[in-house]
Each structure stands twice: as structure tokens, then as C-alpha cells.
Amino acid sequence: MILLFLLSVVNISVSIAPLAGIMEEIGGNYFKYEVIYPVSANPHMYEPRPRDILKVKKSELFVYSGRAEPGAEKLCRIAKRCISIEKRLNIKRDVNPHIWLSPKLVKVMADSLSLELSRLVPDKKDMFMKKASMMKFKIDSILKKLKDSKKGTILLMHGAFVPLFKELGFNVLVVAKEPGMEPGARRIKELSEMLNRQRVLFGVCESNRPCTPVKMLSKRYGFKVITLDPLYTESFTDFLRKTVLTVKNAANSGN
């Protein structure tokens, strides 16, 4: 029986690890999830390699987020079946492309992906839809834990986390538009003038990315800095639960 079950598992490939976490939370062990991009890769700049093409060709489905991963469009063209989540959800171009970090969009994504997984394993449709509903319930429950936390302005090194923190109720200041981009003296001066007029609750750096300006400004203005991973490797609800706890502690710690 175990051997028959293993043989029935359907291969799905995804561009980045967060999408695998989202899909696994809905599809469980009925699928094998292959992450194409290396963990350390910048999805905005990564170019697919021959081995990536082979992995996608062996999969029944390839999923990527959209504009945030321009290299994934090449893989989409050779996949048996391909989904751009942005296109599937009709997300407008003025929406921040880091959709896997938005609780609101992940909830919408859950319903859409449950239907897509049902195409691959039709007799489990009810289970996938139930898991999607449970995922949305967990997201709402986790967000409620920030209800009594202080809200105010935070400083982000990069714009990837803008959707998440706006949905958590914070105002945001962004140092640089692209990950790893070092702002010039003019931008630092602008930020310093802003921080002279308003209190910052905390700053946010990204794992494995330069964050010198945020750390420098934190020393000058006395706010705490936390580090989060925009390319998380666990389920979205686990990522959100850890993030909310970290944010709650930072927001309530005071300067």
C-alpha cells in the first residue's frame, strides 16, 4: 500500500520556496514539491539553468508568482501546465509584486490553488478546499494577535515587506527599491529629516541581504531592528505566526 501511494504522488515545481510552503499547506503529501530557485538566489534576477528546465519538464505543473520573477516566464513556456499567480488572480500592475508576503492575497491564492490541485487529483477536491479554508482561518486568527500592539511607522530596507506591514496596520518608510541596493547620501538625508519629525517603532532587515543604512539609522535614532526572511521556507501560516510574534515584541518594546 505504501509503495502504491508513493507512485501516485504528482510532481509540482514552483519557482521560489514560499510558493511551495503555500501549496503544501493545501495539497499535503499528495504532491511532491520541487523548488527551482536556489534559496540564496534573488528571484528578480535569477536566470534558469538547464537543470531547472529538466525539473520543470518532469513536473505536471509549474507555478510562479509573476512579475517578481521574470526568469520564470522562460520556464513557463516549456512547462506541461503553467500558472502565473498574478495572472490567475488578475492582480494589477500597480500592486506590489511580492504577493507571497501579503496575508490578504495569500488567502485569495489559497482558494485558487485548491481548485488547481483538484485538477490533478480530482477525488481529493473536498479535502483541498477544506485545507484552504482552514489556512484562511489560521491567517485571520494569527493577525488578531496584533490587535493590542502599538502601531506607528517602521523603516524597511526594501519594499518586499510593504504589503505585509501595511496589512498589519503600520505606516512604512522604505530605504531602497531593490534588495541589496545601497541608497545615496541624498536618500539618507531625506530619511534622516523624516525620522527627525516622526518616531520609528522598529526597522526591518532581510535575511542574507545588506542592511547597513537601517542599522546605522537605528543607532542614531534608538529604534530596534528585526530580521525577516522574504523567501521563507516553511508554511505561510508558520511564517506569519513567527513574524507576528517578532513584530509584536518589537512594537511593544519601546525605544
Q: Which of 119, 144, 169 is the last residue of a domain?
A: 144
CATH number for position 30: 3.40.50.1980
Reported as a single tens digit per residue, the pLDDT across 54-85 is: 999 999 999 999 999 999 999 999 999 999 99
Nearest alpha carbon to residue 81 among 29, 34, 10, 12: 12
Looking at the fold, whether 85 and 179 belong to one and the same domain comes out as no
Give the rounded percent of residues in the chain with a pLDDT score beyond 70.
94
Say how many domains are in the chain: 2
Asked if residue 147 has pLDDT above 90, the reply is no
Burial 154-174 (b: 16+ CB within 10 A, else e): bbbbbbbbbbbbeebebebbb
The answer to whether residue 151 scores a pLDDT higher than 60 is yes
**Which of 123, 144, 165 is a domain's end point?**
144
Confidence of residue 3 (pLDDT cuts 50, 70, 90): very low
- Return the residue matching grid coordinates 539609522: 217
Domain with 222, as residue range(s), is 153-252
Q: 92, 119, 144 — which closes off a domain? A: 144
CA distance 17 to 230: 10
pLDDT-based confidence at residue 178 (cuts at 50, 70, 90)? low
- Choose between 130 and 6: higher pLDDT: 130
Same domain for 128 and 17:
yes
Q: What per-residue confidence (pLDDT) applies to 2?
A: 44
Q: Model pTM?
A: 0.91
State the Cα–Cα distance between residues 210 and 208, nearest whole angstrom.
7
Q: Are residues 157 and 240 in the same domain?
A: yes
Question: What average pLDDT score do residues 122-129 get?
Answer: 96
